[in-house]
Chains A and B, each alone.
Chain A
């Protein structure tokens, strides 16, 4: 069974802090994603990566950056946290798009509160 592990379930940070959210998957998936989930807005894509050291902006990348130094690990970085980044953050992984039946496997999420 695919396992996607996010390092923290709950996180409280102060405005202006640099925040790291870590995600590790154990199924050798090429693709990894970071989404944020807010009520009424669904899951919005922040960044994704289709290979080591490769990254692409999603729909809402402002205020975020990512790092993928190893295939199994994808980190989301908030350079200077702000209160409007308070949200649930979900990491996911998948096989490449051209693989048959390539669903996303999600981690349990990190609920970040910025005060």
Chain B
């Protein structure tokens, strides 16, 4: 069953912040975040393992609440280069496969 992402789409001005949420009905081992630009392959951003850790690099960070099976991606001081579609991918405990949400389209304008 696909994780549920929200919002479906968001429009920002440069410098604004955004939060993208991902929730699952399953017990999760890990959550992945990817960004895909139009016409390109999805690119890995970060992975969060169960343990409730928060990770980040530059102005993009993420958290994982394993009790709620939820993860959030935080984009601060957005840049034009942040535009694209963001996908969360979830892995269940004992599983081999990554299941993706429907994606969140993010558009940053000048």
Given contacts A31-B96, A50-B96, contact A106 B41 (CB under 8 A): yes
Number of chain B residues close to chain A: CB under 8 A: 25
- Residue pairs across A and B with CB atoms within 8 Å: the count is 61
Given contacts A40-B102, A43-B87, A97-B29, contact A90 B96 (CB under 8 A): no
Interface on A for B, CB 8 Å cutoff? 31, 33, 35, 40-45, 48, 50, 56, 58-59, 90, 94, 96-97, 100-109
Can you pick out 27 interface pairs between chain A and chain B where the beta carbons lie within 8 Å of each other? A35-B100, A41-B102, A42-B2, A42-B5, A42-B87, A42-B100, A43-B42, A43-B87, A43-B100, A43-B103, A44-B2, A45-B97, A45-B99, A56-B96, A56-B97, A59-B99, A90-B41, A90-B42, A97-B96, A102-B47, A103-B32, A104-B32, A104-B34, A106-B43, A107-B41, A108-B40, A108-B41
Interface on B for A, CB 8 Å cutoff? 2, 5, 29-30, 32, 34, 40-44, 47, 49, 87, 89, 91, 95-103
